[in-house]
Amino acid sequence: MDLQIALLLSQDGIVNGSIYALLALALVLVFAVTRVIFIPQGEFVAYGALTLAAFQAGKTPGTLWLLLGAGVLVALIDTVIAVRAGAPGRLKRIALWDLALPAVVAGLVLGLQPATLPLAAQVALALAVVVPLGPMLYRLAYQPLAEASVLVLLIVSVAVHLALVGLGLLFFGAEGSRTTPFSEAQFNLGTLTVNGQTLWVLGASCVLIVALALFFGRTLYGKALRATAINRVGARLMGISTSMAGKLSFTLAAGIGALSGILIAPITTIYYDTGFLVGLKGFVAAIIAGLASYPLAAAGAILVGLLESFSSFWASAFKEVIVFTLIIPVLLWRSLTSHHVEEEE
Amino acid sequence: MMTTPILEIRELCVSYGKVEALHHINLKVAAGQIVTVIGPNGAGKTTMLSAIMGLLPSKGEIEFQGEVQRDIEVEHLVAMGMTLVPEKRELFGEMSVEDNLLLGAFQRYRHGDRDEGKTMDQVFATFPRLKERRAQLAGTLSGGERQMLAVGRALMAKPKLLMLDEPSLGLAPLIVREIFHIIADLKKTGVAILLVEQNARAALQIADYGYVLETGSVALEGESRQLADDPRVVETYLGLGGKKQ
Ligand SMILES: Nc1ncnc2c1ncn2[C@@H]1O[C@H](COP(=O)(O)OP(=O)(O)OP(=O)(O)O)[C@@H](O)[C@H]1O
Ligand SMILES: [Mg+2]
């Protein structure tokens, strides 16, 4: 292997790794706050990319109907609960977030002919369709089980993942799609050619990671999520409700997932079930970090990306095997070194 | 003597599985007063506070600020002005003292109050030690400092009813005295206080009214001065050796 190939592979690895890093951060966040192992994370990647692709192909994405349907379902359930609890004050919130918001998004999508809009507007619309599915999913599948064990929540995650993959096939069909690149520019760095989309992926990932760090470090809502992760009872006593924290973390995870999909859609063909494999690599990175440390998860993700691109050069048939085998020594090392910390007081 | 109660609980029963731990408790806290609940280990004091706060399911009626709470939710009660300093403190160990305090104001922030900086200055005035340690992680504080942080964090919510579960637990006598001074001072700011204590002597000294809880039932109640003179209380809780642990 000469230097040029090595550089090329490294570039590939780092680009993919930065996407895995985003997904790993979202997984760590969701697990820390809700103890949910968020396997459906990958479906948000696929939904984001394919919703954008549908816009560009002049079609109405099925995710829009999912958004409207889920909104109505959540509104029904929460209305019944609010009426029973004698808390009509909650109805306004329900009408706003679960009915009005999806209706406005649907109005925009159906009224504006997204195919004719500039790319930035298309991306914004795709996010508006996919991201609200995150908190709705939490409300429907996980909130009723907030006190359940990690294992039960994991089983629910598997079920949700299978359901969303099935819906993805229904909405988008079996063919893959690519979207138009954010930029057609090419740069020459010595012997290496870097294209514009690569820079977009890296730049957007860095911006998102910094934004997340600021959110958790500087804002009260970010601190509230950390507090819930550290001590759920303590957080509730501060008025930070477990379901609010859950919805917020699912919103962030859905946003990160959908944006990751949108970022890689111009460089990789995305199928309805591509998200799972991408998400799983983010998961390997998150496991390397013990589902706890954000910087470790990001570092692990870059490692996974590099390993993947180099193994695709040397032994392309085994590239997935090599990546996922990485998890075994990591788990062994973790089980030997980690002293298990349960909720401390 | 009792004015309108800010908190009134009627026939409160709490069970752990099949075992009933609290039997038909009736209790009132008048606005602006300190009410103490004393009793031996395992009497059900912590259970009672947890049930009032909505952390445990219960039967019976809980009326807070004149409203019977039907669907008791912790977050809702916090928003209404009820705050609990739990027995285990439940601090955010991996966060700084300052962040712990800020989170105490979360519910108010959520509803549009933006005066958490000012409230924190007041808390720092009450607990200068916390100001010195503001950047330190809560998990590395000493026992007494943790207690102060737990109380300070509760004050950040500007509660109307402050419930304290054994604030003197495990503290040196000097700090105990300091904490009780602070509690007595808090009363002057108009907050009602429900104080659960093992240290019956100190608690009865600052309280207006008291309850003695034994094996899940109220065994005695009365003005704290009368309670402090009651022979049964003197013998069991204020006995010659001082406080009973
Ligand atoms: N989670 C639980 N499951 C079962 N029983 C419990 C539980 N928590 C408390 N109990 C029991 O309920 C009774 C009351 O306990 P509680 O903690 O309320 O007592 P306490 O008055 O606060 O005691 P202390 O002064 O030691 O704090 C005890 O017999 C205790 O063993
Ligand atoms: Mg107790």
- Cβ distance of A238 and B91 shorter than 8 Å: no
pLDDT of residue A342: 47
- Considering the domain architecture, whether residues B51 and B74 belong to the same structural domain is answered as yes
A149, HSE (Cβ side, Cα atoms, 13 Å): 3
Asked whether residue B245 is assigned to any structural domain, the reply reads: no
Which residues are in the CB-under-5-Å shell of ion ligand 2?
Answer: B 45-46, 87
What is the number of domains present in chain B? 2
Last residue of a domain, one of B158, B173, B194: B158
Distance CA(B11)–CA(B61), nearest Å, equals 7
- Cβ distance of B102 and A241 shorter than 8 Å: no
The answer, yes or no, to whether residue A4 has pLDDT greater than 90, is no
- Ranges of H-type helices in chain A: 3-34, 41-56, 63-84, 90-94, 101-112, 119-130, 133-137, 150-172, 196-218, 220-230, 232-237, 242-264, 274-288, 294-314, 319-325, 327-337
- Considering the domain architecture, whether residues B38 and B131 belong to the same structural domain is answered as no
Mean pLDDT of B199-214: 92
Residues of B in contact with A85 (CB under 8 A): 70-71
pLDDT of residue B243: 45
- Considering the domain architecture, whether residues B106 and B142 belong to the same structural domain is answered as yes
Last residue of a domain, one of B110, B139, B158: B158
- Considering the domain architecture, whether residues B119 and B132 belong to the same structural domain is answered as yes
Give the model confidence (pLDDT) of A11-29 as tens digits. Answer: 889 999 999 999 988 998 9
- Considering the domain architecture, whether residues B123 and B195 belong to the same structural domain is answered as no
Asked whether residue B151 is assigned to any structural domain, the reply reads: yes
Mean pLDDT of B49-56: 94
- Considering the domain architecture, whether residues B145 and B177 belong to the same structural domain is answered as no
Last residue of a domain, one of B158, B177, B204: B158
Give the model confidence (pLDDT) of A141-177 as tens digits. Answer: 999 998 889 999 999 999 999 999 999 999 999 999 9
User: What is the ipTM for the molecules in this complex?
Assistant: 0.92
Mean pLDDT of A320-329: 80
pLDDT of residue A344: 39
pLDDT of residue A237: 96
Owner of token pair 């991306």: A123
- Considering the domain architecture, whether residues B18 and B3 belong to the same structural domain is answered as yes
Give the model confidence (pLDDT) of B62-96 as tens digits. Answer: 999 988 887 778 998 999 999 999 999 999 999 99
Asked whether residue B243 is assigned to any structural domain, the reply reads: no
Asked whether residue B244 is assigned to any structural domain, the reply reads: no
Share of chain A above pLDDT 70, in %: 97
- Considering the domain architecture, whether residues B121 and B12 belong to the same structural domain is answered as no
Minimum mean pLDDT among A182-186, B5-9, B102-106: which range? A182-186
Give the model confidence (pLDDT) of A214-228 as tens digits. Answer: 999 999 999 999 999
pLDDT band at A316 (very low <50, low <70, confident <90, very high): confident
Give the model confidence (pLDDT) of A300-311 as tens digits. Answer: 899 889 988 888
Mean pLDDT, chain B, rounded, equals 90
Asked whether residue B14 is assigned to any structural domain, the reply reads: yes
pLDDT of residue A80: 92
Asked whether residue B86 is assigned to any structural domain, the reply reads: no
- DSSP letters for A18-44: HHHHHHHHHHHHHHHHH----TTHHHH
Q: CB of B140 within 8 Å of any CB in chain A?
A: no
Interface test with B, best of A83, A238, A345 (most B CBs within 10 A): A238
Q: Which domain holds residue B69?
A: 1-81+160-238
B129, HSE (Cβ side, Cα atoms, 13 Å): 17
Which residues partner with B213 through β-bridges?
A: B218
- Considering the domain architecture, whether residues B71 and B106 belong to the same structural domain is answered as no
Distance CA(B167)–CA(B187), nearest Å, equals 15
Regarding pTM above 0.80, the answer is yes
pLDDT of residue B240: 53
- Considering the domain architecture, whether residues B183 and B233 belong to the same structural domain is answered as yes
Q: CB of B53 within 8 Å of any CB in chain A?
A: yes
- Show me where the domains of chain A are located: 3-184+192-337
- Considering the domain architecture, whether residues B54 and B106 belong to the same structural domain is answered as no
CATH code for the domain of B51: 3.40.50.300
How many Cβ atoms sit within 10 Å of the Cβ of residue A106? 18
pLDDT band at A256 (very low <50, low <70, confident <90, very high): very high
What residue's CA is closest to ligand 1, atom 3?
A: B16
Q: Is A223 helix (H, G, I), strand (E, B) or coil?
A: helix
Share of chain A above pLDDT 90, in %: 58
Contact call for residues B180 and B202 (beta carbons, < 8 A): yes
- Considering the domain architecture, whether residues B173 and B68 belong to the same structural domain is answered as yes
Give the model confidence (pLDDT) of A70-108 as tens digits. Answer: 999 999 999 998 888 777 778 888 899 999 999 999 999
pLDDT of residue B238: 76
